[in-house]
Amino acid sequence: MTSAVPEPARDAPQWAPPSAEPAPAPERVTGREVLGYLLGRAWRAVQAVATVIRPIGWAAITGAILLWTLGPMFGWRELTTGAIALTVVIVACALFLLGRTAHDIDLVLARDGVIVGDTARGEVAIANTTATALAAARIVLPIGRDRGVFSVRRLASGENVAETFEMPTRRRGVLPVGPVSVLRGDPLGLFERIERRADPVELFVHPRTAWFGGESLGFVRDLEGLPTRDLARDDIAFHALSEYQPGDDLRHVHWRSTARTGTMMVRTYEETRRSHFVIGLSRSRDEYRSDAEFELAVSIAASVARRGVRDSFDVELRTQLAVLRGDDERRMLDSFSRIEHARIRDGIDELGAVIGSEAPSASFVTLVTGRGASTSDVRAAVSRIPSGARALVCVADEDADPTIRRIGDADVVSVGRLDQLPRVMRRVLG
């Protein structure tokens, strides 16, 4: 007896395999592309090898090639023997490059800001964070244009050491320290492999400054501001009553006087100003007779700026080329570390014009320049600073006796040494 197989319903959908789209044909790689790829890899390998060969290594390799060429050519056994010996030395020195340099290195400065002439100190912490020991190596620490090299002994797994270093600072500026690298090389100095391990840091070498006392440099700030001769419709220091003008604030109407005179009268005030302290340092090389005179000018400007910051003024530092930060003492000194003189056309007169146009609310303006600035240039600079602002011009005149004179509306002081500045400023500020 056979069992009947049920037939599928006529209306039931028949299953069919999904239609597969034909796979795209692989792109054909030409022989030129393969050759270009191989040559590129070979060139990068040659560059990597070339970076570890020092000049004396290139000389040794070139000498070995010449000896191998000339010895068999002329049949001189001495040259062939020299070629063999030199090749053995080159290969033996190259073996010193083998090995891992997986040191974990951290660079720390005791202080990232020092005064020029002081000694900066730092530490390089070296650790072995791998599971195996690391061979002895040399550590390279670039400091400015120089570099220091010190040896590190073999480190077991988990072991660490610390190396301290000192850096004398001979001139003001920003000194890059690092990057710290691990150096592997041979005793003869033919090859050298350097692997970077720690990022560089910046050491700010600040200018020397002198502290001086005396009266406040500018106006006292905010609600305690000193009144000026400029009149304002809305302020604190009352001046007089005047007739109402369209646009005056009705809150300042003096109703009693208005009723008595029959004319609407409003109060007018003497304008008070914030303590906006602007220091302009000329960077024109033509105004300074030497680098030392420019450094004296920077120290004078930094000394006046420090006094302004400590008096809680809004200090603004300006040169012909930039506006520098002066919102706190450290940032202000860092800004002075970056300043360099340059051969620019604009002198102290143009600097005064820029301050007059871009800092009209300044209450005290100090201009600093060198002995090379002419009296006419100084007079032009003073005439262009904001009206109503107190003006002071400091002239760096290396090794000269201090003097005080008057040009236009400004006191002009000449200083030959930084230690003369406090006495001169006390006389000027009263």
Average pLDDT in the chain? 83
> What pLDDT does residue 231 have?
46
> Can you tell me whether residue 44 is helix, strand or coil?
helix
What is the distance between the alpha carbons of residues 81 and 86, in angstroms, rounded to a whole number? Answer: 9
Least confident window among 129-138, 208-217, 259-268, 355-364: 208-217
Tell me the mean pLDDT in the region 384-391: 87
> What pLDDT does residue 262 have?
85
Which residue type, as a one-letter code, is found at position 132?
T
DSSP annotation of 135:
-
* Among 171, 391, 209, 403, residue whose Cα is nearest residue 300: 209
Q: What is the pLDDT of residues 273-282, one digit of tens each?
A: 557 889 999 9
The pTM of the full predicted model, rounded to 2 decimals, is 0.70
Computed from CA positions of residues 41, 46, 47, 48, in that sequence, does the dihedral angle turn out positive or negative?
positive
Q: What is the pLDDT of residues 136-149, one digit of tens each?
A: 888 889 988 888 88
Q: What is the pLDDT of residues 166-197, one digit of tens each?
A: 999 999 999 999 898 888 888 888 888 877 77
The answer to whether 67 and 83 have CB atoms below 8 angstroms apart is yes
Q: Which is more confident, 49 or 389?
A: 389
Q: What is the pLDDT of residues 14-29, one digit of tens each?
A: 555 555 556 565 667 6
Parallel/antiparallel/unpaired status of strands 201-206 and 173-177: antiparallel
